[in-house]
């Protein structure tokens, strides 16, 4: 049986986090396995994700045990937040990660950031950024276009 609605994975993650932080490692390990078998989500026992965490669809979610994320992280299915060369990402508050996206390595993702579906993030993203593509490029900061996209706002330049 698979429950791909993310609510079950969120609840199991919170129960696992409680067990992990309160000296119940066997229960935490069992809940970790339950999340994989029920929701096809792999969320490390030590993953430190703040309040307001929402998983829209749990299938294919993979989050490293050493990841830190702030409040209101929202992720779609097939999102990976993982290690590269033993370094893991740190995420700010109010981050949205679209379906199929991967964030790897010791990158810092700012607050109020949107990462488009199927993006690959291997560099830091500033506060307010919208990042798209492989590798991800910042196309907006605080809703204003940046980079090559900015030319669309000033076609005479
Ligand atoms: C990234 C995303 C969140 C953007 O949301 P938004 O509120 O429109 O973001 P912003 O207004 O800050 O930025 C929009 C800009 O990013 C561009 N953009 C968004 N997604 C893009 C993509 N995948 N590739 C290239 N450019 C993209 C838009 O074209 C736009 O730029 P433009 O105005 O110059 O054309 C959204 O496009 C996305 O990818 N959502 C994922 C949804 C998802 O995973 N759904 C699964 C449901 S099961």
Condensed to tens digits (0 to 9), the pLDDT of residues 45-64 reads 999 999 999 999 999 999 99
* E strand residue ranges, the chain: 42-43, 48-49, 54-55, 62-63, 68-69, 74-75, 80-82, 90-91, 95-97, 102-104, 108-109, 113-115, 120-121, 129-132, 137-141, 144-145
Mutate to test the pocket of ligand 1, among 57, 58, 98, 118 (most ligand atoms within 8 A of CB): 98
pTM of the model: 0.92
Residue 116 Cα to ligand 1 midpoint, Å, equals 5
Q: Is 140 in the pocket of ligand 1 (CB under 6 A)?
A: yes
- The first and second tokens of residue 36, run together, are 């994989």
Residue nearest to atom 38 of ligand 1 (CA): 116
d(CA 86, CA 128): 27
Nearest CA to ligand 1 atom 42: 98
Give the whole-angstrom CA distance, residue 5 versus residue 126.
30
Closest approach atom of ligand 1 to CA 143 = 12
Query: In 3-state terms, what secondary structure has residue 69?
Result: strand
**Minimum-distance ligand 1 atom for the alpha carbon of 149:** 34
- pLDDT of the residue at 5: 84
**Of all helices (H) and strands (E), which one includes residue 113?**
strand 113-115
Q: Give residue 70 CA to ligand 1 midpoint distance, Å.
A: 22
Q: Give every residue of the chain whose pLDDT is below 70, as ranges.
A: 1-2, 148-149, 151-157
Determine which residue's CA is closest to atom 28 belonging to ligand 1: 139
pLDDT of residue 149: 62
pLDDT given for residue 153 in this prediction: 63
């Amino acid at each position: 049986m698979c429950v791909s609605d993310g609510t079950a994975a969120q609840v199991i993650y919170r129960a696992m986090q409680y067990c992990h932080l309160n000296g119940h490692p066997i229960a935490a390990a069992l809940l970790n396995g339950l999340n994989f078998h029920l929701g096809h989500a792999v969320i490390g026992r030590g993953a430190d994700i703040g309040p307001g965490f929402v998983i829209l669809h749990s299938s294919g979610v993979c989050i490293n045990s050493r990841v830190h994320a702030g409040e209101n992280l929202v992720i779609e299915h097939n999102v990976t937040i993982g290690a590269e060369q033993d370094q893991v990402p740190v995420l700010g508050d109010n981050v949205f990660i679209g379906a199929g996206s991967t964030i790897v390595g010791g990158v810092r993702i700012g607050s109020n950031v949107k990462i488009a579906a199927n993006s690959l993030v291997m560099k830091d993203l500033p506060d307010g950024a919208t990042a798209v593509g492989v590798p991800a490029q910042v196309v907006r900061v605080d809703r204003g276009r940046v980079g090559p996209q900015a030319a669309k706002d000033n076609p005479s330049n």
